[in-house]
Amino acid sequence: MRKLVRKGVEELVPYPPGKPIEELERELGIKGSIKLASNENPLGPSPLAVQAVMDKVSTLNRYPDGSGYYLKSKLSEKFNIPSGQIVLGNGSNELIELIIRTFMSSGDHAIQPFPSFLVYEKIVTGAGGDMTSVSLSNLSIDLKGILNAITPKTKVIFICNPNNPTGGAISKDEMIQFLREIPGDIIVVLDEAYCEFVTDEKTANGIDLLDEHPFLCVLRTFSKLYGLAGLRIGYGFASEMVVEYMNRVRQPFNANTLAQAAATAALDDSAFVHRTLQVVREGLHYLCHNLDEIGVQYIPTQTNFFLIKVPGGGKRVYELMLKQGVIVRSMDSYDLPDYIRISVGLPEENERFIETLRKVI
């Protein structure tokens, strides 16, 4: 079998298959647990998106619109970027994969900061590529280190801004400088899954940077701010030429009918966006204030999640909290064993988190 699988696949481990909450509760004999582990929107999905899904359900006998016409038109209008520079994906995860399948061949090289979003390495390795991971410096992305890691075989560079799991962001000035130093024959993937949560005005915004590098791909998602993680819909901006090549490789119906309708409606849901940002900002304020009071260190964030340094190690705290019905993320696989990562929840969830943390440490 080893000989049969593609180069790189042997080294991969499957994504840890989490159990449904109901099953976990049954095993632990608890009820009413809360999940703060996956940077999701605690308010649920955008109500306008839910209505759009209901309205479309009766058309499910038809294939989706493979061109994503309405959603791309709406994105084009909102961001003032031509539809020909927009590509849709089954979550931005699929767009990462599509970029690799379009541009990387077996034996090509890619670079990522580490720790960052774990999917980059999985996809590159699974495609037979070689990934160089450049360690963060003081928990910030080391742009100089990434530039130094470029080789003649480098095809793709990943930058996650703000970075998952650290929550820190790169400024516009730093990013422009960085992009200008990257050779023009490398694809730069700028993953902005959390950009809407950013409060620091100096932070880079990929849409303003598309002219700074010929092969810049800016990726975004409806999973976080709009609460549509379960529907799987993401979008990307790049040059028309890059998008044209990605469309050659893309499955024609990768963005499903309900996801397209929901995302189109969600873009108009300014009340929901406003509420989400308010819940996240107020929640962060509450959580940080209480962590200060407990005397636990945390990393300042530009997102809806953040890292907390916990005495006794992240895995132990994760396990103890799980038994109390509070699901957080331990950071062992990100090589940050002293930390847990939590996403900001509803006020009552944040209170429960703080209460439980006090108990377990």
Cβ distance to ligand PLP smaller for residue 223 or 356 = 223
The answer to whether residues 56 and 261 touch, using CB atoms and an 8 Å cutoff, is yes
Per CB under 6 A, 361 contacts ligand PLP: no
Per CB under 6 A, 39 contacts ligand PLP: yes
* Minimum CB distance to ligand PLP, residue 228 (Å): 8
Residue type, 110: A
Cβ distance to ligand PLP smaller for residue 79 or 290 = 79
In angstroms, rounded to a whole number, what is the distance separating the alpha carbons of residues 168 and 82?
Answer: 30
Looking at 66-74, 205-213, 221-229, 352-360, which segment touches ligand PLP (CB under 6 A)? 221-229
Per CB under 6 A, 234 contacts ligand PLP: yes
Per CB under 6 A, 191 contacts ligand PLP: yes
The answer to whether residues 137 and 145 touch, using CB atoms and an 8 Å cutoff, is yes
As to burial, measured by CB atoms within 10 angstroms (0-12 exposed, 13-18 middle, 19+ buried), residue 248 is exposed
Per CB under 6 A, 356 contacts ligand PLP: no
State the number of binding residues for ligand PLP (CB under 6 A). 13
When binding is defined by CB under 6 A, the residue of 103, 117, 318, 334 that contacts ligand PLP is 117
| 214 HSE (CA, 13 A, CB side) | 5
Per CB under 6 A, 345 contacts ligand PLP: no
Per CB under 6 A, 229 contacts ligand PLP: yes
Q: CB count, 10 Å around CB of 77?
A: 11
When binding is defined by CB under 6 A, the residue of 8, 45, 64, 91 that contacts ligand PLP is 91
Looking at 85-93, 106-114, 147-155, 325-333, which segment touches ligand PLP (CB under 6 A)? 85-93
Looking at 22-30, 86-94, 125-133, 276-284, which segment touches ligand PLP (CB under 6 A)? 86-94
Here the tokens at position 118 are 């774990």
Cβ distance to ligand PLP smaller for residue 18 or 347 = 18
* Minimum CB distance to ligand PLP, residue 263 (Å): 11
* Minimum CB distance to ligand PLP, residue 152 (Å): 28
In angstroms, rounded to a whole number, what is the distance separating the alpha carbons of residues 289 and 283?
Answer: 10
Q: What Cα–Cα distance (Å) separates residue 298 from each residue in 165, 169, 254, 287, 327?
A: 12, 16, 38, 10, 18
* Minimum CB distance to ligand PLP, residue 88 (Å): 11
In angstroms, rounded to a whole number, what is the distance separating the alpha carbons of residues 46 and 41?
Answer: 10
Backbone angles phi, psi at 76, to 5 degrees: -60, -45
* Minimum CB distance to ligand PLP, residue 91 (Å): 3
Here the tokens at position 311 are 């005495």
DSSP string, 147-206: HHT--TTEEEEEEESSPTTT----BHHHHHHHHHHS-TTSEEEEE-TTGGG---TTB--G
Cβ distance to ligand PLP smaller for residue 103 or 158 = 158
Per CB under 6 A, 215 contacts ligand PLP: no
When binding is defined by CB under 6 A, the residue of 221, 264, 301, 330 that contacts ligand PLP is 221
| Closest-CA residue to 226 (of 4, 48, 19, 103) | 48
The answer to whether residues 261 and 60 touch, using CB atoms and an 8 Å cutoff, is no
- For ligand PLP, the binding residues (CB under 6 A) are 39, 91-93, 117, 160, 164, 191, 193, 221, 223, 229, 234
